Amino acid sequence: MPELSVVVPVYNEEKTIETFLAEIKPNLEACTEDYEIIFSLDPSKDKTEDIILAKREQDPRIKLLRFSRRFGQPAATWAGLAYSTGKAVLIIDCDLQDPPGLIAQMYRHWKEDGYKVVIPQRRSRQGENVVKRAVAYLGYWFINKTATVEIPRNTGDFRLLDRRVVDELMNLKESHGFLRGLTAVVGFSTKLIPFDRQARIDGEGKYNRLTGSILIGFNGIVAFSGSLLRFMGIIGFSMAALSIVAALFMFIGKALGLYDFATGLATLGVLLLFLTGCQLVGMGILGAYIGRIYEETKFRPKYIVDVAKGFDGHMEQER
């Protein structure tokens, strides 16, 4: 069992792999030379896999998981955790927005201070536009206002987990692996480290685009809170009450000769459209929860590994 496993989800990252390894290796070796680096690869269109395999020939501590198709970053991260064997597991992206220079501090908090979970927390988010920052802020605010567990704000999957935490995560059977929330679910002592997140070293993120962040955030809301269902009920009740009040005013106005029903057809039409829109929104929210139940009952695997390089012996595929 190595001292430290490093899980790196990758997709079309041929321009960053070599720089990433050059940066992370000295930081890992400052902690321990007994480590493994697991690249969890969604099948890529560039030379990402070839570069990783070439680096593996130079250093057997580098390992590769390649999936049968693209499953996405959450599944890639989950697979890396399942195949890791270290006493602690570090999850990090290869674009160097998550600085390898924090690894020694994270390792020390785990090794010497006894924390089971160490999470860097972003003070600033360079390289992200205003829209993405606003989405991230609102998403974390809403999740923490409604979720049954507290998820630290301004954090990503960049974290160090003790083996006990990883084992408990692997015992969870949810189909959608929202790691930030599931880490909070299993608990254990947690240390937050503030840092300033830098821009990518090259190009655009293949995983962390705005639409992907929104989908992951929505998944987190649905997975850890029933608040949207309650909110839908409140909106429905409020609209029904408003309709009753409006009808009462119209009846009084007609009785007093102050209102002609014919002149209010446009208003009624707008109100009808508004209420219909609220119903459709409510049905959409309800559908999201029902769809999640449907996904969970199918018990499909989070990922399917096609190639596993560097892993000795039989390893059961986590489903």
Q: What is the pLDDT of residues 249-276, one digit of tens each?
A: 766 766 776 655 555 664 666 567 667 7
- Could you tell me if 128 and 201 lie in one domain? yes
* Residue type at position 14: E
**The pLDDT of residue 201 is above 80:** no
pLDDT attached to residue 106: 94
Give the ranges where 225-264 is alpha helix by DSSP (H): 227-255
Is residue 106 in a domain? yes
- Could you tell me if 198 and 88 lie in one domain? yes
* Residue type at position 224: F
pLDDT attached to residue 73: 86
Q: How large a percentage of the chain has pLDDT more than 90? A: 32
- Which two tokens mark 46? 């560039």
- Could you tell me if 184 and 275 lie in one domain? no
CB 79 within 8 A of CB 8: no
Mean pLDDT of 114-118: 93
- Could you tell me if 35 and 132 lie in one domain? yes
Is residue 217 in a domain? no
Mean pLDDT of 288-304: 66
Mean pLDDT of 193-213: 63
Residue 131 belongs to a domain with what CATH number?
3.90.550.10
**Distance between terminal CA atoms of the chain?**
23
Look up the domain containing 273 and give its range.
Answer: 227-298
- Could you tell me if 147 and 98 lie in one domain? yes
128 vs 9, more confident: 9
- Could you tell me if 126 and 29 lie in one domain? yes
Residue 43: closest CA among 305, 280, 319, 311: 305
- Could you tell me if 23 and 165 lie in one domain? yes
Is residue 161 in a domain? yes
Is residue 48 in a domain? yes
Q: Which long-range contacts (CB under 8 A, 24 or more apart) does 57-62 make?
A: 60/310, 61/2, 61/35, 61/36, 61/37, 62/21, 62/36, 62/37, 62/310
pLDDT per position as a tens digit, 60-69: 999 999 998 8
- Could you tell me if 194 and 47 lie in one domain? yes
Q: How many structural domains is the chain composed of? A: 2
Mean pLDDT of 31-56: 92
- The residues, any chain, with a CB within 8 Å of residue 119's CB and separated by 6 or more, are 152, 155, 158, 159, 160, 183, 190, 191, 192, 193
pLDDT per position as a tens digit, 130-182: 666 666 666 666 666 656 667 777 788 899 999 999 999 988 877 666 788 78
**The pLDDT of residue 120 is above 70:** yes
pLDDT attached to residue 317: 45
Is residue 61 in a domain? yes
114: left (phi over 0), alpha (psi -120 to 50) or beta: left
- What does the alpha-carbon distance between residue 299 and residue 135 come to, in Å, rounded to a whole number? 31
Is residue 319 in a domain? no
**The pLDDT of residue 219 is above 70:** no
242 vs 260, more confident: 242
pLDDT attached to residue 27: 94
- Could you tell me if 15 and 85 lie in one domain? yes
Map residue 70 onto helix, strand or coil. Answer: coil
Phi, psi for residue 128 in degrees, rounded to 5: -115, 140
User: Where would I find the beta strands (DSSP E) of 43-98?
Assistant: 62-67, 88-91
Is residue 159 in a domain? yes
**The pLDDT of residue 86 is above 90:** yes
- Could you tell me if 53 and 101 lie in one domain? yes
- What does the alpha-carbon distance between residue 240 and residue 256 come to, in Å, rounded to a whole number? 25
Average pLDDT, the chain: 77
**The pLDDT of residue 191 is above 60:** yes
pLDDT attached to residue 314: 45
pLDDT attached to residue 269: 62
pLDDT attached to residue 108: 93
Global pTM reads 0.68
Is residue 213 in a domain? no
* Residue-by-residue DSSP string for 148-178: SS---TT--S-EEEEHHHHHHHHH---SS--
pLDDT attached to residue 175: 67
* pLDDT-based confidence at residue 88 (cuts at 50, 70, 90): very high
- Could you tell me if 266 and 128 lie in one domain? no
- Could you tell me if 41 and 178 lie in one domain? yes
Q: How large a percentage of the chain has pLDDT more than 70? A: 61
Give the containing element (helix H, strand E) for 186.
helix 179-186
- Which two tokens mark 152? 């630290």
pLDDT per position as a tens digit, 97-112: 889 999 999 999 999 9
Residues 228-239 as b or e (16 or more Cβ within 10 Å = b): beeebeeeeeeb
